[in-house]
Amino acid sequence: MAQPVESPEVSVNAASKDTWSASTYNNTASFVYSPAFTSVVLSLLDAKPGEKIIDIGCGSGEVTREIQRLVGAAGLVVGMDSSESMVSQCKQNGLEHAFVGDAQDFEVPADFPGHLRGGFDAVFSNAALHWCKRKPEGVLTCARRILKPGGRFVIEMGGLMNCVGVRATLHKVLRTKGYNPDELDPWYFPSIEDYRELLESAGFEVQHISLNPRITPLNGQLIDWLRLFCRPHFLAEMADEEAEEIMSTVQDICRIDCMDSRGRWTMMYTRLRVVAILKSAP
């Protein structure tokens, strides 16, 4: 899920305008939390009965509930997302403890029970941290604060070459319209080397880090994906007519690479997977 762009005056856990709709996300991008695409990162998490785990960017809670099942009645799972719509749906889906916050600068709310405000066995995240372009190191600062020594940081996010082709086309079309796409681009897709450096600087020992290309069939047309993931971010300040024209142009250019003979659309995702352990203080 997206993480908000925060001004210096915004307090911890404050969210900007909620641009996400849980129902639209689930209709257009349910592949994000499908078992086929989450089994590997859940295997890396290796959640055990009785563990306490926080899911950063929990969305509407489908993967979070699977973690809850894995830790069992003796365990605890907390969800956090930047979107009030997503957190509301997550609670409706059965997660008791969830809150709105910015992954780059958050604290577990003060009204949560004390045992849910720290000492986590693991920080988990799937398909969320690539929205943390403003302050990616802030995610690790927050994780370090709430993990117990030896706790795990287990994530999957967009990495180098994620959305290859589509992203470049967006940049090209925006330039032809007089915009600076580097300023508008909301995504952070790091290389292995860049993210390893962040982890080690934050006091984590990297056990696993890899980039994994993944062919990703879309639920509809490319323009549906663009409306969900780009309209509220890349194209947020544009009038509807101009935004639709840009997205339609991007779809037309990408058709040759992303649409098959039966009209089915596919994108190339590249996922950065990480397992890192918080070092104990010397």
Spans of all domains in the chain: 22-162+186-217+268-278
pLDDT digits (tens, 9 = 90+) for 67-97: 999 999 999 999 999 999 999 999 999 999 9
Rounded CA-CA distance 137/279 in Å is: 17
pLDDT digits (tens, 9 = 90+) for 230-259: 999 899 999 999 999 999 999 999 999 999
**pLDDT mean over 41-58:** 97
The bridge status of strand 147-158 relative to strand 266-278 is antiparallel
Looking at the chain, the whole-number percentage of residues with pLDDT higher than 90 is 83
Residue 257 to residues 166, 181, 185: CA-CA distances in angstroms? 9, 22, 22
> Among 4-13, 31-40, 162-171, 221-230, whose mean pLDDT is lowest?
4-13
Identity at 134, one-letter amino acid code:
R
**pLDDT mean over 201-211:** 99
pLDDT digits (tens, 9 = 90+) for 160-172: 999 999 999 999 9
Rounded CA-CA distance 206/36 in Å is: 25
Name which residue leads in pLDDT, 200 or 29.
200
**Taking the CB of residue 7, how many other CB atoms lie within 10 A of it?**
8
Domain 22-162+186-217+268-278 indexed as CATH 3.30.230.10: no
Nearest to 225 by CA among 266, 190, 276: 266
Could you tell me where the beta strands, DSSP code E, fall in 97-203?
97-100, 120-126, 147-158
Q: Residue 272: is its pLDDT beyond 50?
A: yes
The secondary structure of the chain in percent helix, strand, coil, rounded to multiples of 5, reads: 40, 25, 40
Looking at the chain, the whole-number percentage of residues with pLDDT higher than 70 is 87
Mean pLDDT taken over the chain? 90
